[in-house]
Structure 1
């Protein structure tokens, strides 16, 4: 009897192992006949489990262009398609979604000219408005509240960030009170339609210390209130993400530093109703985190922790220095998840320059931003740290300081981090504090098994809905007995 049960167990494991070994499923795929040379594409996840694909086709001289929107359901079946008329030199900048609408902003070669498109998810109905935004020459971020636009842009005179309010009913444009000081900037912008408010988080610095301020505006751009969050004596608050909710429940989750404001020493949480972050239980140094240093080899991690503990014991400042790019907060049933990418600038030496006196100089120029790892921290609703985890990143570089990793929470509470690498998706599934150093690879599947992917260009991945992500990009594919084809693909990936 025991032998029989043992044999049944072995058979069950053998049958189950191929299923487990397959990893995430790719149940559906769509291929769109887009020309790589003349087509720009954006894939946007919508809250009704569908996808919006924006694409523009035109010539290289920007004298002709068409602007198209197509909606696909969760099975990647087309639901509707429409076009919008815009100047031929228009280019996509940002989008904001608040059901049942997605709002998109487009720029032009003239840096004061912008087109805003309002798209109804259900019907495909499009509305557009053109604005000449005289004060700015770039848009970094924008939110929408009651059809009014809140835009973070770059002041064309002094290149500092500013906050604009656009009233779409009166077409009035106004500068909102926001940033002060030479080294101050925006940390977060969050529209909260349930409470009729837009919150702007400002990071204010004089170069030596830094504090945070939260300014709240109503839909008309009227300033409702300001909250100042002061630093502790030896800690400066650098950046933070804000939660939705009424003013008594809103929290900040962010990073702090010490002497050098370019670097992060740890994380903090605080309600915005306070004036000073509480020392007890609100600051979490990187040494307190279980997995932050797991991107290092075990001996390196041990040496780092031992050295830094000795410095702290002797009253010295931490020696470790990290730069962090914060992701938007993920709201969970029991709290929040804060994710960040850890990076450092890469430099290259410029060409040697000889002067008329035969002297020379060799400078350093920033070439990109290399990632060492990504981290995720789970908090409860009161801001208490519950767990942390890390995802070591290999050879991940961006030439602009933008997100390179997509982060999503699965319905069972696990967290997925993923990024594209040519014909693969590199991903990591986090189960709270349980660290796994293995880098997991998923090959992108084509329509047929005997097809070969010859090249992948501009690959991307976004979280979609439930346990699904969407991977996409241009591919050149060679079937076994046919000529090659170049397509824009979208694969649904179910974790």
Structure 2
């Protein structure tokens, strides 16, 4: 169905100026004859360095659809292809990989009806199961532990988030114990396969202060432990990501606020067993957080905020953060976040990664992305920042991708049409140099004339996959419309 070619080598590498950073190579490109108007596509990285491509093709009336699943290896060569017999109106919701399977969840137009597709990653064998989950009418997060499902969904009666457990071999669906107050949100859902545990991190607030709760469950949905991490020294814990590990080594890494808990004033790390102190790092302690500002404005901001902090006054900074999942490194952890501000309208729509049922913004604009490196004890080692220009989303979802290279460097990147904007963080070495790479077609005599629905996913070991729909013009051939995947090696 598709074809793969290796891109012309003349454009693979060049030496950048100041830091002599290397432009990402584009060693291979896949093109498929898919029509953007009739196709829904998801590209899913798989831990064995392969990619799983899901695409749904429908007729003009939407009365007939075909659901395709194709696995490609690291060279974008096809490994196997399969189809699933889903209802024509089924819509992809979430996915999760627990070797040797990848699971995909689909929602059908009938309320509470969900289909779960299980793909064997080596053989392509398909198993389809359909359930009526009467306790939820939407799914926000989906994890799998030993073949059992853990889902964060929306209660159709009151619109609040709940945590569900589903054993696919049993009829019963169980609501797991948690706190479902008006101010409660889910911050993280982590499956620790090595320790046979699922951790749910919740943020609980009364509008004035905020604390965190960590609940751990085994593969049967039984509660193993429940810990509260309380505010300290007038610092409210807003959101956090959990690390893997047993009860003696596990940490929470997140952000905190002070008097106005809508805004972040710094980052923290805390041991979940509460045996050691909580480490707080306010924004002024970070070397590069304010580097998205021009130098003079950064200097004025730092002086103003330091004076207010010394006087015991509330900071004037108004930063909202969207956390990313933790990156696990040989020496510790990397926590990345996007700094955004909302523009509100009279509407109330959209689903955010951090589930919060308040008035939703119509647009979320980004100012910069940050990354912080911690050791295994939660001590801050470095921080860095990447200014982001003219990037906005209509829902509070991630706009940038974050990856980790074998040499220890962190990559943050985002697509815009046929250009990938990126920064490579070498710990706290900040650069003002604009770094971007233009996606390449197959050959020198080809030109990309239009790019639609451009996306980027972190793949493996410093490799990313850029994908979307393009129109290609050649000098001596017809114009063609394709779905593309370009491999980017940073």
- The answer to whether the Cα contact below 8 Å between 2:57 and 2:65 also exists between their aligned partners in 1 is yes
SS at match of 1:110: coil
Q: What corresponds to 1:293 in structure 2?
A: 290
Task: After TM superposition, give the deviation of residue 344 of structure 1 in Å.
Answer: 0.3
- The answer to whether the Cα contact below 8 Å between 1:295 and 1:373 also exists between their aligned partners in 2 is yes
Q: What corresponds to 1:142 in structure 2?
A: 142
Q: What corresponds to 2:3 in structure 1?
A: none
| 1:84 pairs with 2:84 | yes
Greater RCO structure (CA 8 Å; 6+ sep): 2
Larger radius of gyration: 1
Task: After TM superposition, give the deviation of residue 137 of structure 1 in Å.
Answer: 1.2
1:413 to 405, 408, 411: 408
Task: After TM superposition, give the deviation of residue 98 of structure 1 in Å.
Answer: 1.7
1:453 to 445, 448, 452: 448
Alignment of 1:455-494 (within 5 A): 455-494=450-489
Q: What corresponds to 1:223 in structure 2?
A: 223
SS at match of 1:19: coil
Structure 2 CA distance for aligned equivalents of residues 99 and 218 of structure 1? 18
- The answer to whether the Cα contact below 8 Å between 1:117 and 1:126 also exists between their aligned partners in 2 is yes
Q: Deviations over 1:167-220 (max 9, x none)?
A: 111131011111232100111001112111111001111111111010011111
2:428 to 410, 430, 433: 433
CA RMSD of aligned residues (A): 1.8
Q: What corresponds to 2:19 in structure 1?
A: none
Q: What corresponds to 1:284 in structure 2?
A: 281
Q: What corresponds to 2:301 in structure 1?
A: 304
Q: What corresponds to 2:388 in structure 1?
A: 393
SS at match of 2:74: coil
Structure 2 CA distance for aligned equivalents of residues 18 and 460 of structure 1? 22
- The answer to whether the Cα contact below 8 Å between 1:179 and 1:186 also exists between their aligned partners in 2 is no
SS at match of 2:299: helix
Task: After TM superposition, give the deviation of residue 439 of structure 1 in Å.
Answer: 2.0
Q: What corresponds to 1:373 in structure 2?
A: 368
- Structure 2: any 5+ residue segments left out of the alignment? 1-9, 17-21, 348-358
| 1:341 pairs with 2:372 | no
- The answer to whether the Cα contact below 8 Å between 2:405 and 2:411 also exists between their aligned partners in 1 is yes
- The answer to whether the Cα contact below 8 Å between 1:253 and 1:269 also exists between their aligned partners in 2 is yes
- Structure 1: any 5+ residue segments left out of the alignment? 1-14, 351-363
Structure 1 CA distance for aligned equivalents of residues 223 and 337 of structure 2? 30
Classify 1:166/1:349 alpha carbon distance in 2 versus 1 (closer, same or farther; 3 Å).
closer
Q: Deviations over 1:10-60 (max 9, x none)?
A: xxxxx9x97315711101001011011111000011111111100010124
Structure 1 CA distance for aligned equivalents of residues 270 and 195 of structure 2? 20
Structure 2 CA distance for aligned equivalents of residues 127 and 455 of structure 1? 38
Q: TM-score, normalised by structure 2?
A: 0.92
After the TM superposition, which segments of 4 or more aligned residues of structure 1 sit over 6 Å from their partners? Answer: none
Structure 1 CA distance for aligned equivalents of residues 25 and 327 of structure 2? 24
Classify 1:171/1:376 alpha carbon distance in 2 versus 1 (closer, same or farther; 3 Å).
same
Task: After TM superposition, give the deviation of residue 486 of structure 1 in Å.
Answer: 0.5
Q: What corresponds to 1:268 in structure 2?
A: 268
Structure 1 CA distance for aligned equivalents of residues 141 and 268 of structure 2? 24
Alignment of 1:175-190 (within 5 A): 175-190=175-190
Decide which moves more: 71-80 or 22-31: 22-31
Structure 2 CA distance for aligned equivalents of residues 194 and 365 of structure 1? 37
2:397 to 365, 383, 402: 402
Structure 2 CA distance for aligned equivalents of residues 180 and 64 of structure 1? 40
Task: After TM superposition, give the deviation of residue 314 of structure 1 in Å.
Answer: 1.2
Decide which moves more: 17-26 or 167-176: 17-26
Report how many aligned residue pairs link the two structures: 465
Structure 2 CA distance for aligned equivalents of residues 400 and 436 of structure 1? 30
SS at match of 2:314: coil
Alignment of 1:346-365 (within 5 A): 346-347=343-344
Structure 1 CA distance for aligned equivalents of residues 262 and 14 of structure 2? 46
- The answer to whether the Cα contact below 8 Å between 2:113 and 2:132 also exists between their aligned partners in 1 is yes
Structure 1 CA distance for aligned equivalents of residues 26 and 443 of structure 2? 13
Q: Deviations over 1:278-313 (max 9, x none)?
A: 35xx00000100000000000000000000111111
Q: What corresponds to 1:102 in structure 2?
A: 102
- The answer to whether the Cα contact below 8 Å between 1:179 and 1:185 also exists between their aligned partners in 2 is no
Task: After TM superposition, give the deviation of residue 346 of structure 1 in Å.
Answer: 2.0
- The answer to whether the Cα contact below 8 Å between 1:460 and 1:473 also exists between their aligned partners in 2 is yes
- The answer to whether the Cα contact below 8 Å between 1:290 and 1:389 also exists between their aligned partners in 2 is yes
Structure 1 CA distance for aligned equivalents of residues 240 and 443 of structure 2? 46
